[in-house]
Amino acid sequence: MLRASRSDVTPLPRLNQAQIGRPRPRPVPTQRLRDERAVLEDSLSDHAPWDSGFETGEELVFLRQGLPPHTLRKLRRSHWVIQDELDLHGLTSPEARALLVDFLNYCVRRGLRCVRIIHGKGLRSKNREPVLKHKVANWLMRRDEILGFCQARRTEGGGGAVVVLLKGQRGMMNAER
């Protein structure tokens, strides 16, 4: 009886058989991942991706594009009162960068306009060259809230410090300023 019931059955062609197994994984966009990683590494690098022209001799100078030149002149002549300062002497680059980011965020929250960042002259570093000086300058140029900076006056730290002008915050209460 079993044989009689199977006599008119024909096997399915291989093309009509369902494949049972795990579904294929979605393709990984490796080029997009590489591009995103490259952008992230570039944004975290210590080197300016452009020819910034911020350095004139040994003096660090930077003014955000579109601002009038007299802004830098005012900054050099201490037109704005230095409201706070950060000393990065003796720190490693990663420590200095983390502290600088925290300090700038604090300054923005408090509505500070002018601060001094002491990076040191590099007298105790290898080859007696400043390590943090150029890194601090590059880090500052990448921040939108930085309008400009220049080397501090000799009495304020000279070649071992920069005076930084930050964007002002509109609408803050005067008590917080």
The domain made up of 52-168 has a fold known as Ribosomal Protein S8; Chain: A, domain 1 (3.30.1370)
- pLDDT 10s digits, 17-47: 666 777 778 887 888 777 777 766 665 555 5
Distance CA 9, CA 30 (A): 49
State residue 53's pLDDT score.
43
* Residue 42, pLDDT score: 60
Residues of the chain with pLDDT under 50: 48-56, 171-177
The alpha carbon of residue 167 and the mean position of all alpha carbons in its chain are separated, in whole angstroms, by 17
Provide the pLDDT for residue 121.
82
Query: Residue 59 has which token pair?
Result: 């003096």
- Kindly report the three-state secondary structure assignment for every residue of the chain: CHHHHHCCCCCCCHHHCCCCCCCCCCCCCHHHHHHHHHHHHHHCCCCCCCCCCCEECCEEEEECCCCCHHHHHHHHCCCCCCCEEEECCCCCHHHHHHHHHHHHHHHHHHCCCEEEEECCCCCCCHHHCCCHHHHHHHHHHCCCCEEEEEECCHHHCHHHEEEEEECCCCCCCHHHC
Instruction: Return d(Cα 43, Cα 36) in angstroms, integer.
Output: 11
* pLDDT computed for residue 159 by the predictor: 85
Give the residue from 129, 142, 158 showing the smallest Cα distance to 150.
158
User: Tell me, what's the pLDDT at 58?
Assistant: 64
pLDDT the model gives residue 62: 93
Q: What is the pLDDT of residues 112-133, one digit of tens each?
A: 999 999 998 877 666 667 778 8
